[in-house]
Amino acid sequence: MITRMSGTPRVLSGIQPTAGSFQLGNYLGAVRNWVSLQEGNDAFYMVVDLHAITVEQDPAELRTNIALAYAQIIAAGVDPSVSTLFVQSHVPEHTQLGWVMQCQTGFGEASRMTQFKDKSARGGSDHASVGLFTYPILQVADILVYQADGVPVGEDQRQHVELTRDLAQRFNTRYGQTFTVPKPLIVKETAKIFDLQDPSSKMSKSLPNGAVFLLDDPQVITKRIKSAVTDSESEVRFDPAAKPGVSNLLTILATFTDRDVETVAASYHGLGYGALKADTAEAVVAFAAPYAARVRELTGDPAELHRLMATGAAKARAVAAPTLATVYDRLGFVAVGGE
């Protein structure tokens, strides 16, 4: 059986290389949390290029974006000598276990995944690939192949982690204890950063006007934040229902300056939205400028970047391969050479 000897919990997460630059929502909702989870956990983080091709990608852009995503995770503070940082397609066990898990999943069960429903509704179901439909099951394999205990993700990924739990339990019941049943790790306060132009939707690269891209020039970032939609009052108060725009800015500022939103809100007593916007822009730029410089440095040395990727893939495979071997054995497959 594949149990881990060390008592250190294992966490695993992934991010798609589908935009050149991460936007603020990716960073605050995901990668920032990855950085803090390195302490006290055995952390596995990956660039999910296999997930990216569920929608059409330009090959040259994808190649650039994979390197950029990998570099940005490091620039954000993930240390590849502490965590296992790798590219999903470098570890073939993901797709191998993915197939096995597809065979454990009911068609109706897969059809209930809301992210697929949303994404396919946008492009029309004729344009949605079968890969987009089975996307959550590949994600299940990503998690289970490492026997992860915790999965740090944004709120939108909760359903996929629930599916992972269901399938792990189902497999364990049918074939004997094989997989760790993971838990979602969701940081409530920053799980959702909203669009600056439409604070009722989540910040996303698909709505570029309301998003802040961390690799943009400081002037562009500042302009974006200063033109954020607020409301017709003038009082700075944290009230996401009544004041979504202002509350979103407070969340961003509080997170970047390591304070809680109420403290930050109180400090604007008697001051207007202009002051809040200026300070938020300043806090974001204070992070983004050195971040962008570090990304340039890393992508400027492709040999070193590829060396880091190869080391990460080797560390990942050392965990993934034994899991897959056990799974194949449990299923009744005959090993090469009969061993």
Whole-angstrom Cα distance, residue 152 to residue 10?
Answer: 11
Specify the residue, 139 or 147, whose C-beta has the smaller distance to ligand TRP. 139
Largest Cα separation within the chain, whole Å, is 77
**Active-site residue, selected from the candidate residues 119, 192, 243, 277:** 119
**CA-CA-CA-CA torsion sign (284, 289, 294, 300):** positive
Is 277 among the catalytic positions?
Answer: no
* DSSP one-letter code for 232: S
Specify the residue, 52 or 261, whose C-beta has the smaller distance to ligand TRP. 52
Is 315 among the catalytic positions?
Answer: no
| The one among 89, 157, 178, 190 contacting ligand TRP by CB under 6 A | 157
Specify the residue, 44 or 238, whose C-beta has the smaller distance to ligand TRP. 44
Specify the residue, 139 or 178, whose C-beta has the smaller distance to ligand TRP. 139
Q: Is 91 in the site for ligand TRP (CB under 6 A)?
A: no
Nearest distance, CB of residue 35 and ligand TRP, angstroms: 15
Mention every residue, 6+ apart, whose C-beta is less than 8 A from residue 136. Answer: 110, 113, 115, 116, 159, 160, 163
Q: Extract the tokens encoding 281.
A: 């822009």
Nearest distance, CB of residue 320 and ligand TRP, angstroms: 13
**Active-site residue, selected from the candidate residues 183, 188, 192, 202:** 202
Is 205 among the catalytic positions?
Answer: yes
Q: Within 115-144, which residues bind ligand TRP (CB under 6 A)?
A: 139, 142-143
Interface stretch with ligand TRP, choices 149-157, 266-274, 281-289, 307-315 (CB under 6 A)? 149-157
Burial 238-247 (b: 16+ CB within 10 A, else e): bebeebbbbb
- Listed as own residue / partner, the contacts of 242-247 with beta carbons closer than 8 Å and 24 or more positions apart are 244/194, 244/199, 244/200, 245/194, 245/196, 245/199, 246/273, 246/276, 247/199
Q: Is 49 in the site for ligand TRP (CB under 6 A)?
A: no
Whole-angstrom Cα distance, residue 142 to residue 97?
Answer: 8
**Catalytic amino acids?**
119, 202, 205
Positions in the binding site for ligand TRP (CB under 6 A): 12-14, 16, 48, 51, 139, 142-143, 151, 153, 157
